[in-house]
Amino acid sequence: MEERKLAEKIAYFKRLSAIQAEENGDDAYDAEEQAHRERCKTFHNATSTSSRAKSPAPSVTGLRKPGTVSQPLPCPDSSQGSDDLEIIKVTPRNRSSRPGAAGIADKTPNVEEEIIPESAHPDPKPAHSFLHPLLRPRMTRQTSGLTSDNSPSTSTAKRKKQARLKLLPENQQIFRGLRFYYIPNDDANRVRAAQITKARERGASWVRTLKEATHVIVDEGLTYQDIKSDLMSDSSSPGKVIVNANYPIDCVIHRILLNPNQEKYVRNLRVAETPPSPNPSSLPASAQASSNSLEIKRKQRKRSRKDQELPPETQSDYGEPLQNNTPSIAPVTTIAAALVEDELSQYIGLVQGNSLYLEMPLEEEEDSAQSEATKDDEAESGSESSKDESSRKKKRRTREKIQLSQEDTTWQDSFACMKGGTRGAAVDNPNAATIELLQLMVGMYEHRDDWRCKSYRRAITALRQQTRKITTAKEAMKLPGIGKSLAAKIEEIAADGRLRKLEHAQQRPENKILNLFLKVYGVGIGQANKWVSQGYRTLEDLREKAKLSTNQRIGIEHFDDLNERIPRWEVEALAAVVREAAGDIDASVEFIIGGSYRRGSDSSGDIDLIITKKRTRSSQNLLPFLEKLIKRLTDDGFLTAALASFSGNTKKGHGSKWHGCCVLPETAFPKDKGKYRPIWRRIDLLLVPETELGAALIYFTGNDIFNRSIRLLASKKGLRLNQRGLFKDVLRGKRGVTYTEGDPLEGRDEKRIFELLGVKWREPHERWC
């Protein structure tokens, strides 16, 4: 026992130094990993290009062919999906007993429910106290909530149940959905305990049996011979990832799931002879070939911070030299951008600025600049239309302004819903290039980090309102919603027309695959992450091997169709079909096309229809009608799928939305539009009583940013806006207690809602934010 601990301790420090080295030069991937990425890149290029390719045939059969290139990524066999279910059945103790929690082993806010309260961390001293100073702050945050939950914590801890494990933000949960089994599977020693904690903070769940695991983490020093018996006992080992403890560490360092098949992670854990049930697809030749122990391969390139502080020219590994349009500032801030980029390039969701930033001289210059801005602002406070000057007001200024100015043009102006924003604005905008790249960043964050996403979009909105090109960070900082980080990015883009962080993110195969999966209806970040980590890479993989919900299957089968834009004329044609059918059922029902169509868009992602009728006070009143309509349209072949209806939802009395798919019938296809081709379209129907039409119009017209903004504004005024109306924000502490009465202020009249909110009316086409 003593020997064991000593060995582990040694191992700990060994890994620790590795971490430190990594942190110092955190883009120092070793050659193996880079090679892996290259392979991935090549692979993906080969397969993904067809993702948007449309087949001339009806899309029912138009699913693109999966990648044909073979790739040594772990690829779960088809049985794996069903394994999950079985696992849960077998070992329910590790999970919440709630039936809905199946398969959601990550995300453990309710860990207390779990069994095995005690955790074994005999040492009160936090593990991170060993760590390199640079690491400490972050580590402190991560491990502060070290706790027990479903962990197979076995040692006889004195520690009782205490603070729960604190999960890191979603975007850092690189292990989300994965289930780790350690050999040995306890946290008896500090090293492993810390590793387990780190893994779990990043979304991994620590399971007690080998059978449950997706990943088996074997202590360094153990060989295949050592774990052989363990693995033997598990018939499901094929398909599992078996790696040594360096793997999760490196993943944490790089903030991303690395290729587990690299030799350094499987060293000694695999034998060429006869592994119990080798999973060929997860055993690359290289790994199988050499099982002899090599020395710990130290990361070769450890760029120190000093090394990074190079002149821009040296930094740039692109062909073109940087051009200095802005003499005095550019060099400095370019370095800043480069440094930041370096730091951030590891993983898209990297948080918080780094300390280097605080040392940058950006802020000092700002003060002087700010006084100027202040002066400018003074002159024209209140005139919203003087686009250039007034919108570059400094935040501090804004605050003053609030106090000084009058109601109408004050703080409300900072809400997106107050601003003009029009669709075509970006086209001829001087910041178009910047906007475009930032927009791509939004795409990378979409569904992943909602808040960051929001920030980028807000920044884009700000840029769009400029009449002058923003070229420096200093300048950008003056815009509302643009802080240091975004300002640096804007400057980087202005300087050399590119954003390295974006490029880096774009070329990550994981991101490409993730983006692909996220486009499937019914697939969110959780499911997409799970699938990616399970090794699925194409839609074909999903269709054949993954277990899909009904909706997800539809989303995949008609992926190409559903991701295609709908031309405006077709939106009208589709609506006409619905109207016509409805006319036979109840001619007094009215339809309003909402969504981007109502905002004037040339094309839409889907068709949004508000269904309403005079003298209706509840969406319930329209339910019978809708049922008939649905049946009729389904029989006609117009509606092709129901994605979200309101099946057993009568209890809440709402039942107001219907989501599904439809196809424009050939009979309704305009002759002048070329050759007819049936394309599945997403259609959303919203049942709206007359009394709620105004609010529903606001909601269904959007855009989303506008909605959120105006709702936020409402809440700041002590009101509440949703798709059913504007409400007085009464604090109803008791659940649903008599909230039916009196609270609604307005729901019927769209303009009236604007008025009550003190917001100047905006036409739908002015609601692009």
Partner DNA sequence: GCCA
Partner DNA sequence: CAGTACG
Partner DNA sequence: TGGCCGCTACTG
- Work out whether strand 603-604 and strand 566-567 pair parallel, antiparallel, or are unpaired: antiparallel
Closest approach of Cβ 571 to DNA, in Å?
11
Q: List the one residue from 138, 454, 547, 717 that touches DNA (CB under 7 A).
A: 454
Q: Which residues pair with residue 349 across a beta bridge?
A: none
Is 714 near DNA (CB under 7 A)? Answer: yes
DSSP state of 416: G
Is 89 near DNA (CB under 7 A)? Answer: no
Q: List the one residue from 41, 54, 395, 568 that touches DNA (CB under 7 A).
A: 395
Is 377 near DNA (CB under 7 A)? Answer: no
Nearer to DNA, 85 or 296 (CB): 85
- Binding segment for DNA (CB under 7 A), chosen from 190-198, 539-547, 585-593, 641-649, is 641-649
What is the residue-wise DSSP string for 240-251?
Answer: -EEEETHHHHHH
Closest approach of Cβ 704 to DNA, in Å?
4
Side chain identity, residue 12: Y
- Binding segment for DNA (CB under 7 A), chosen from 30-38, 270-278, 370-378, 698-706, is 698-706
Cβ burial of 717 (10 Å; 0-12, 13-18, 19+) is: middle
Give the total residue count for the chain. Answer: 769
Q: How many residues bind DNA (CB under 7 A)?
A: 87
Q: Enumerate residues 6+ apart whose C-beta is below 8 A from 164.
A: 108, 109, 111, 112, 145, 147, 149
Restricting to residues 547-586, which ones interact with DNA according to CB under 7 A? 549-551
Given the residues 401, 484, 489, 530, the one annotated as active site:
489
Q: List the one residue from 136, 277, 547, 646 that touches DNA (CB under 7 A).
A: 646
Is 498 near DNA (CB under 7 A)? Answer: no
Closest approach of Cβ 166 to DNA, in Å?
10
What's the CA dihedral at 714, 720, 724, 726 to 10 degrees? -60
Closest approach of Cβ 189 to DNA, in Å?
29
Closest approach of Cβ 324 to DNA, in Å?
24
Restricting to residues 57-86, which ones interact with DNA according to CB under 7 A? none
Q: Could you confirm whether 489 is annotated as catalytic? A: yes
Cβ burial of 276 (10 Å; 0-12, 13-18, 19+) is: middle
What is the phi/psi pair of residue 66, to 5°? -70, 170
Restricting to residues 396-415, which ones interact with DNA according to CB under 7 A? 398-399
Closest CA to 519 of 5, 143, 176, 51: 51
Closest approach of Cβ 24 to DNA, in Å?
20
Is 448 near DNA (CB under 7 A)? Answer: no
Nearer to DNA, 589 or 705 (CB): 705
Q: What angle do CA 464, 603, 599 make, to 5 degrees?
A: 60
Q: List the one residue from 128, 200, 208, 711 that touches DNA (CB under 7 A).
A: 711
Region label for 268, one of left (φ > 0), alpha (ψ between -120 and 50) or beta (otherwise): left
Q: List the one residue from 258, 330, 514, 523 that touches DNA (CB under 7 A).
A: 523
DSSP state of 97: S
Are 157 and 120 in contact by the 8 Å Cβ rule? The answer is yes
Q: Enumerate residues 6+ apart whose C-beta is below 8 A from 85.
A: 102, 103
Is 708 near DNA (CB under 7 A)? Answer: yes
- Binding segment for DNA (CB under 7 A), chosen from 385-393, 418-426, 664-672, 701-709, is 701-709
Nearer to DNA, 133 or 718 (CB): 718
Nearer to DNA, 191 or 459 (CB): 459
Closest approach of Cβ 196 to DNA, in Å?
20
Q: What angle do CA 439, 508, 42 make, to 5 degrees?
A: 125
Q: List the one residue from 426, 513, 707, 762 that touches DNA (CB under 7 A).
A: 707
Closest CA to 688 of 696, 680, 699: 696
- Work out whether strand 657-663 and strand 205-206 pair parallel, antiparallel, or are unpaired: unpaired
Q: Residue 734 CA to chain centroid, in angstroms?
A: 34
Nearer to DNA, 231 or 643 (CB): 643
Is 356 near DNA (CB under 7 A)? Answer: no
CA distance 92 to 345: 39
Nearer to DNA, 157 or 351 (CB): 351
Closest approach of Cβ 645 to DNA, in Å?
4
Restricting to residues 108-137, which ones interact with DNA according to CB under 7 A? 109-110
Restricting to residues 224-263, which ones interact with DNA according to CB under 7 A? none
Closest approach of Cβ 735 to DNA, in Å?
7
| Cα separation values, 546 from 176, 522, 530, 543, 699, Å | 17, 14, 10, 6, 35
Nearer to DNA, 227 or 713 (CB): 713
Closest approach of Cβ 163 to DNA, in Å?
13
Are 303 and 27 in contact by the 8 Å Cβ rule? The answer is yes
Q: Which residues pair with residue 180 across a beta bridge?
A: 206, 215
- Binding segment for DNA (CB under 7 A), chosen from 301-309, 331-339, 431-439, 638-646, is 638-646
Closest approach of Cβ 482 to DNA, in Å?
6
Q: List the one residue from 76, 248, 509, 594 that touches DNA (CB under 7 A).
A: 594
Restricting to residues 90-109, which ones interact with DNA according to CB under 7 A? 98, 100-101, 104, 106-107, 109
Nearer to DNA, 257 or 528 (CB): 528
Is 332 near DNA (CB under 7 A)? Answer: no
Nearer to DNA, 117 or 145 (CB): 145
Q: Which residues pair with residue 658 across a beta bridge?
A: 685
Is 623 near DNA (CB under 7 A)? Answer: no
Q: List the one residue from 29, 175, 224, 699 that touches DNA (CB under 7 A).
A: 699
Q: What angle do CA 167, 171, 177 make, to 5 degrees?
A: 65
Q: List the one residue from 91, 366, 645, 756 that touches DNA (CB under 7 A).
A: 645
Nearer to DNA, 99 or 124 (CB): 99
Are 436 and 489 in contact by the 8 Å Cβ rule? The answer is no
Is 644 near DNA (CB under 7 A)? Answer: yes
- Binding segment for DNA (CB under 7 A), chosen from 44-52, 507-515, 626-634, 711-719, is 711-719
What is the residue-wise DSSP string for 116-152?
Answer: ---------S-GGGGS-GGGHHHHHHHHTT---SS--
Q: Which residues of 485-512 are buried (b: 16+ CB within 10 A; e: fewer)?
A: bbbbbbbbbbbbeebbbbebbbebbbbb
| Helix, strand, coil percent content, the chain, rounded in steps of 5 | 50, 10, 40
Closest approach of Cβ 290 to DNA, in Å?
39
The pattern of x and - marking residues 477 through 496 that bind DNA according to CB under 7 A reads ---xxxxxxxx---------
- Binding segment for DNA (CB under 7 A), chosen from 25-33, 295-303, 532-540, 639-647, is 639-647
Are 119 and 165 in contact by the 8 Å Cβ rule? The answer is no
Q: Which residues are catalytic?
A: 489
